[in-house]
Amino acid sequence: MISLATLFSVSGGSRVRATAASLRATIVVSPQCPRGRYWLVPVLTGLLEELSSRYRVDEARIYVTGISMGAYGTWRLAAAQPERLAAIIPICGGGDPSTACEMKDLPIWAFHGARDPLVPLEESEVMVQAVRNSGGTVRFTIYPEAGHDCWTETYAKPDWHEWLLKHRRAVHAR
């Protein structure tokens, strides 16, 4: 029985685009946060638990990406359960820099538009620097001319999912 990589897109909708070949053996989940609410770790962990119980999830290849509020959820989940994730890609969102040390061993590639009028670039810069200050390595792409919607350019390129899928985490028997 083959276990499948799981791409957990905390943004909803069809924003995640990749070639069929690269995501063929991947479960892609894109929950939408209810209007007026925020992503909470227990909700996100509950969804991951449900997915793991229903499908053949490869526990070494659980990836999380999110845009805007979904990026905040991505940072939160990664800080709360870094041992569960193989890599994350937060796009135009921030988090709590005091939790950065929890993510120092997690592969992270953050993206942000320099002209974002909704979520200031500093939100991503603060998190990236906090993880780096904790000893982590973060890849950080800033689109100089992009506003809030830098995900269209990000998800349209194949390198984000190629980078993501090359990461695995060590899984110990439970």
42-90: pLDDT as tens digits: 999 998 899 888 888 888 989 999 999 999 999 999 999 999 999 999 9
Its domain, for residue 108, covers: 4-165
Residue 51 lies in a domain: yes
Residue 60 lies in a domain: yes
Residue 172 lies in a domain: no
| pLDDT tens per residue, range 157-171 | 889 988 998 999 887
Burial 36-73 (b: 16+ CB within 10 A, else e): eeebeeebbeeebeebeeeeebbeebbbbbbbbbbbbb
Residue 94 lies in a domain: yes
Residue 173 lies in a domain: no
Whole-prediction pTM: 0.87
CB 92 within 8 A of CB 120: no
Rg of the chain on CA atoms, in Å: 15
Residue 131 lies in a domain: yes
What value does the mean pLDDT of the chain take? Answer: 86
Rounded distance between C-alpha atoms, residue 149 and residue 154, angstroms? 9
| pLDDT tens per residue, range 95-137 | 999 999 999 999 999 999 999 999 999 999 999 999 999 999 9
How many domains in the chain?
A: 1
CB 157 within 8 A of CB 141: no
Residue 16 lies in a domain: yes
Residue 170 lies in a domain: no
| pLDDT tens per residue, range 125-134 | 999 999 999 9
Torsion of CA 149, 150, 156, 159, to 10 degrees: -160
pLDDT at 28 over 90: no
CATH number at residue 94: 3.40.50.1820
Rounded distance between C-alpha atoms, residue 57 and residue 133, angstroms? 33
